[in-house]
Structure 1
Amino acid sequence: MAYDYIIAGGGSAGCVLAARLSEDPAVSVCLVEAGGQGKSFLINTPAMVAAMVSGRPPLHNWAFGTEPQPHLNGRRCYQPRGKALGGSSAINAMLYVRGHPSDYDDWADLGAEGWDWRSVLPYFLKSEGNSRGPSALHGAGGPLQVTDQASPHAITQAFVQAMQSLQLPENPDFNGPDQTGAGLFQVTQFHHGPRKGRRCSAAAAYLHPVMQRPNLTVLTGALAERIVMEKGRATGLMVRHNRRRLTLSARREVILSAGAFGSPHLLLLSGIGPEDELRAHGIPVHHALPGVGQNLQDHLDHTLIWRSLRPDVVGFNPAGLMRLLRGWRPFRDHGTGVLTTPGAEGCAFLHSRPGLQRPDLQAHFVIAIVDDHMRRIHLANGYSAHICVLRPHSRGSVGLQDANPARPPRIDPSFLSDPRDLQVLKAGVRLMEQAMSADALAPWRGRRLYPHDGSDAALEADIRARADTIYHPVGTCRMGRDEMAVVDPTLRVQGLDGLRVVDASVMPTLIGGNTNAPTIMIAERAADLIRRG
């Protein structure tokens, strides 16, 4: 089976690429995805993120684990990743955030020419279908539906008021002229028509509407095992599908869109990467590329949790579950009600200290108790305030456990390996503790889970005992021009022909915000680069 383009990975980037490249009827495209169609009730219903994120059981979720983290008491941390068409956009909280404009100027300064803010903004606008309408900073005609939350909870507005105790202004648009402030997230949900209120994953936005194109083949339940190489050129992809091993041939390009864990893993399995890593697992070195799997960055997050005195939050108890069941009819009929909630309804971008030019902390406010990624269930009603370090200095890596493609990658985020990250996170927790004690939240504030005595040592111990990812891994196939860059600014793998990487792994540095919208932007721009040849 031969195609012009083969895309490995049907996540956010892969769905965009498959849809955009197949717009040209003269080319053929094959998209390979290990998961399913991305159309289940759990995926379509926003509040059901609570059932998927824990990975227990692993519903549409790879549910990866990390190597023991020395600076987090030796804990093996958790890394959920979407396993379905749409990838992590099928299981995330649907939060539409682009990051700070200067993040992209930083990329260009690091050698990623053409990825500065002025150059990437048109691709954000191209992708976006915002219910607020078009403006200089927003698009209204794009496939990705973006809207205000249909039924935000009263406690979330109380959170916004509480953050004002830190002299933080209310901000109605984190993708507007100024990122700093507190407000409600916009979300990637359908905002009109029969699907109003449903999740608008990258698959629902881009891929599902065009699945019948005769020049587009989508293989689900298909695990990409290895890139086929001939004389320095990628010529195909070896895939396991329906218990059979297939070799798909690519006339033009093989494109990896398997994410910050999957793309470097597939390169390594194919003999492309650091020589020592490949030889240690008995894999022949086809192309030495020392940066593959290096430069892993992620947002380390700490959660402050309270029981709620009021029941108008999401609780995993009989009354709370009954409230969710009663929410089915307004969700079905009008796209409103509790089932439309992303869970993380409130947001704040703030500064750990005066004098910073841009926020270095982000808060997510969740209308439920989120303890260990929903893997530790509490029957009480409650709420959670998350705080994460936006631009960590710590760098980790992705590698191989062995040469078996069915084994998950070895993931080592090296959280807090740079002590500067701990200092910023501690400052962020202190600010959140102050805000969460404001009068605005008093009607809900019950007993705090995991209290400490307020000392610096106790706070540090709590962070080392409980902090973990908030699901934004990037950087493991970094773009640039230096010897540790994996791809050049056109996203071609350095030193090889016919092979690109298009996903969050190409980000040189982690952006200051959630990573799904930037990943979709990367794929939109990549589609144009690929079409230009």
Structure 2
Amino acid sequence: MQFDYVIVGGGSAGATLAARLSEDPKKTVCLLEAGGEGKNLSIRVPALVPVALLSGKELNWGYKTVRQPALNNRRTGQPRGRGLGGSSNVNAMVYIRGHRKDYDGWADLGCPGWAYEDVLPYFRKSENNMRGGNAFHGDSGPLHVADPAYTTPISLDFVGACNENQIGPNDDFNGARLDGAGLFQVTQFHGARRGERCSAAAGYLHPVTNRPNLHVETYAQAGRILFEDRKAKSVEYRKDGETRTVSALSEVILCCGSFTSPTLLMQSGIGNAGHLKEFGITSLAHLPEVGENLQDHPDMTIGYKVNDTEVMGASIQTALRGLKGLWEYRRKGTGFWAANIAEAGAFFSVGEEASDWPDVQLHFSTVYVQNHRGKWMRGHNVCSHACILRPESRGTVTIGSADPAEPPVIDPGFLGSETDERNMLKAVKKLRQIMGSKPISAKIVKDMTTGHVTNDEELMDVIRSATTTIYHPVGTCRMGSDESSVVDTELRVRGVDGLRVVDASIMPRIVSGNTNAPTIMIAEKAADMIHAS
């Protein structure tokens, strides 16, 4: 078990990177993934994503935070995908890159080479957009991006209500502008496999697993990186109840995400030496920022009972539509089973920054989602999400044990600043205004979350009792040019050799939108850096 590159983690970044690095037949690549192959039916069929999230540890790590003081001292869920494809297996397939100012901001923070014009070619390289290629989009990449294969009519009503509230239409959130309201494009196959989810594994990795220079080891949970003279030489992992190792001739590359990449570094002696000493771990490189700078988009969900039987629900109508839709989905890849659930959205500003750089995102969902799972109640229900895109609050990820199998200790620090609380309140008030406007108001029977609210104080109480994550953790292995950053601008871990981190944890600041597409972009750019090194 000896390879040029050992990649740990087969999620969005790891699947992309393994496919790209193994394009060079002279280099051997080993990919270690703690979960399975990522080919389950509940992954491939978009409308079955609630089943995937409820699969236990097979497809979802199901982490939880520590108690959050600003959220009524609640512990909130932190779902993360497990298996080849990672969280791209269990997300709503929304394809969003963020705003050009996000990436120009990275460059301003000391990350030359990561400005918008630097990263746009990698977004285009990754993308196979059904609308074709142009200055913003690619048409020949591994990642299929499509217009929705099915849209529930009420999602168009949501867009119309946004338009009635000074949020104009936008049919391409990844084009010239981000602000506006419309239907999301999604990471969904078009062409022969139309309607199937295009996870990072399905797009990049599954088609190339027969390469002789690529070895994929599933159900292999990494425990530690082993070093010789401060150079990463091998990875220790558990499989079938045994401890095994795999050696890297050139580099070890961590693609485990914002929770596991920093904790794997800590378990290997890289992090805050004082923290590691608490667990008897010998410090190899004192990097106090490992696990710091955790950022996420706090999200508040409002559930509504509706009179629209085309919405999924616990009803005879839904059961009949589901049965009838099986034939359409198998034959055309469209209809009921092709729905991505979070079909529509909007971007706008409530803060003091320019309105062309939105600081709020709305998701409109045709299933009532509560506590990270579909809440099936009698009748038909929808929900709308409001999340603030550039929170001031920062959190941490640490270890709670020297046992690598123990889950990370996650403290997002949600709504930990007055600005975050104020912006969330403004965002939710705007969302309620939209949902009370035509044409969607004609389908609303009851606001099940905030219907009793009469003032801002009561609304803030509901926000504190209901806010959680929208699944976008980043930043815990911050990239930068300064010596206190965890990785440099080529994603090499400081203080050691032969070790990189390639995933969302390297983002110095969170992007203004969903994080899956940016994570794939990071892996595309990293592959070129590694090929050139």
Shorter chain as denominator, the TM-score bin is: over 0.9
Amino acid at match of 2:260: G
Counterpart-to-counterpart distance in 2, 1:496 and 1:192: 46
TM, length-normalised to structure 1: 0.98
State the Cα distance separating 1:354 from its structure 2 match. Answer: 6.8
Asked if residue 336 in structure 1 is aligned to residue 324 in structure 2, the reply is: no
Asked if residue 415 in structure 1 is aligned to residue 404 in structure 2, the reply is: no
Residue identity over aligned pairs, in percent, reads 49
Counterpart-to-counterpart distance in 2, 1:226 and 1:316: 46
Q: Any residues of structure 2 matched to 1:119-158 within 5 Å, and which?
A: 119-158=118-157
Counterpart-to-counterpart distance in 2, 1:318 and 1:71: 41
Counterpart-to-counterpart distance in 1, 2:343 and 2:85: 22
Partner of 1:457: 457
Partner of 2:290: 292
Q: Any conservation in 1 of the 2:313–2:376 contact (CA below 8 Å)?
A: no
Equivalent of 1:268 in 224, 243, 266: 266
Q: Any residues of structure 2 matched to 1:301-312 within 5 Å, and which?
A: 301-312=299-310
Counterpart-to-counterpart distance in 1, 2:454 and 2:18: 52
TM, length-normalised to structure 2: 0.98
Partner of 2:518: 518
Partner of 2:80: 81
Q: Any residues of structure 2 matched to 1:392-411 within 5 Å, and which?
A: 392-411=391-410
Amino acid at match of 1:211: T
Instruction: Structure 2: give runs of 5+ residues left out of the alignment.
Output: none
Counterpart-to-counterpart distance in 1, 2:276 and 2:429: 44
Partner of 2:385: 386
CA distance 1:462–1:294, shift in 2 (3 Å): same
Counterpart-to-counterpart distance in 2, 1:318 and 1:255: 50
Counterpart-to-counterpart distance in 1, 2:530 and 2:314: 47
Q: Any conservation in 2 of the 1:22–1:215 contact (CA below 8 Å)?
A: yes
Amino acid at match of 2:473: P
Q: Any residues of structure 2 matched to 1:166-245 within 5 Å, and which?
A: 166-193=165-192, 195-245=193-243
Q: Any conservation in 1 of the 2:50–2:374 contact (CA below 8 Å)?
A: no
Partner of 1:27: 27
State the Cα distance separating 1:56 from its structure 2 match. Answer: 6.0
Counterpart-to-counterpart distance in 2, 1:170 and 1:397: 37
Q: Any conservation in 2 of the 1:371–1:377 contact (CA below 8 Å)?
A: no
Counterpart-to-counterpart distance in 2, 1:443 and 1:334: 32
Counterpart-to-counterpart distance in 2, 1:386 and 1:344: 10
Q: Any conservation in 1 of the 2:35–2:84 contact (CA below 8 Å)?
A: yes
Counterpart-to-counterpart distance in 1, 2:323 and 2:509: 42
State the Cα distance separating 1:328 from its structure 2 match. Answer: 1.5
Counterpart-to-counterpart distance in 2, 1:59 and 1:228: 27
CA distance 1:58–1:448, shift in 2 (3 Å): farther
Q: Any residues of structure 2 matched to 1:54-73 within 5 Å, and which?
A: 55=54, 57-73=56-72
What is the CA deviation profile of residues 291-311 of structure 1, one whole-angstrom value per residue up to 9, with x for unaligned ones? 100000000000111101121
What is the CA deviation profile of residues 208-266 of structure 1, one whole-angstrom value per residue up to 9, with x for unaligned ones? 00000000000000000000111111011001112111111100000000000010010
Partner of 1:43: 43
State the Cα distance separating 1:50 from its structure 2 match. Answer: 1.6
Q: Pairwise CA RMSD of aligned residues?
A: 1.2
Q: How many residues align?
A: 531
Q: Any conservation in 1 of the 2:351–2:359 contact (CA below 8 Å)?
A: no
Counterpart-to-counterpart distance in 1, 2:67 and 2:239: 33
Counterpart-to-counterpart distance in 1, 2:138 and 2:372: 33
Counterpart-to-counterpart distance in 2, 1:345 and 1:255: 35
Counterpart-to-counterpart distance in 1, 2:420 and 2:295: 12
CA distance 1:305–1:375, shift in 2 (3 Å): closer
Amino acid at match of 1:49: V
CA distance 1:233–1:435, shift in 2 (3 Å): same
CA distance 1:395–1:354, shift in 2 (3 Å): closer
State the Cα distance separating 1:442 from its structure 2 match. Answer: 3.0
Partner of 1:445: 444
State the Cα distance separating 1:59 from its structure 2 match. Answer: 4.3
Amino acid at match of 1:175: N
Amino acid at match of 1:70: P
State the Cα distance separating 1:376 from its structure 2 match. Answer: 4.5
State the Cα distance separating 1:483 from its structure 2 match. Answer: 3.5
Counterpart-to-counterpart distance in 2, 1:318 and 1:419: 46
Amino acid at match of 2:263: H
Counterpart-to-counterpart distance in 1, 2:248 and 2:283: 22
Q: Any conservation in 2 of the 1:291–1:484 contact (CA below 8 Å)?
A: yes
Partner of 1:351: 349
Q: Any conservation in 1 of the 2:57–2:82 contact (CA below 8 Å)?
A: no
Q: Any conservation in 1 of the 2:13–2:522 contact (CA below 8 Å)?
A: yes
State the Cα distance separating 1:151 from its structure 2 match. Answer: 1.3
Asked if residue 473 in structure 1 is aligned to residue 463 in structure 2, the reply is: no
What is the CA deviation profile of residues 43-67 of structure 1, one whole-angstrom value per residue up to 9, with x for unaligned ones? 00001112223x4634400010010
Instruction: Structure 1: give runs of 5+ residues left out of the alignment.
Output: none
For the residue of structure 2 that corresponds to 1:166, the secondary structure is coil
CA distance 1:355–1:224, shift in 2 (3 Å): closer
State the Cα distance separating 1:320 from its structure 2 match. Answer: 2.2
Q: Any conservation in 1 of the 2:258–2:505 contact (CA below 8 Å)?
A: yes
CA distance 1:270–1:317, shift in 2 (3 Å): farther
Amino acid at match of 2:185: Q
Counterpart-to-counterpart distance in 2, 1:34 and 1:24: 25
Counterpart-to-counterpart distance in 2, 1:274 and 1:422: 30
CA distance 1:354–1:477, shift in 2 (3 Å): closer
Amino acid at match of 1:255: I
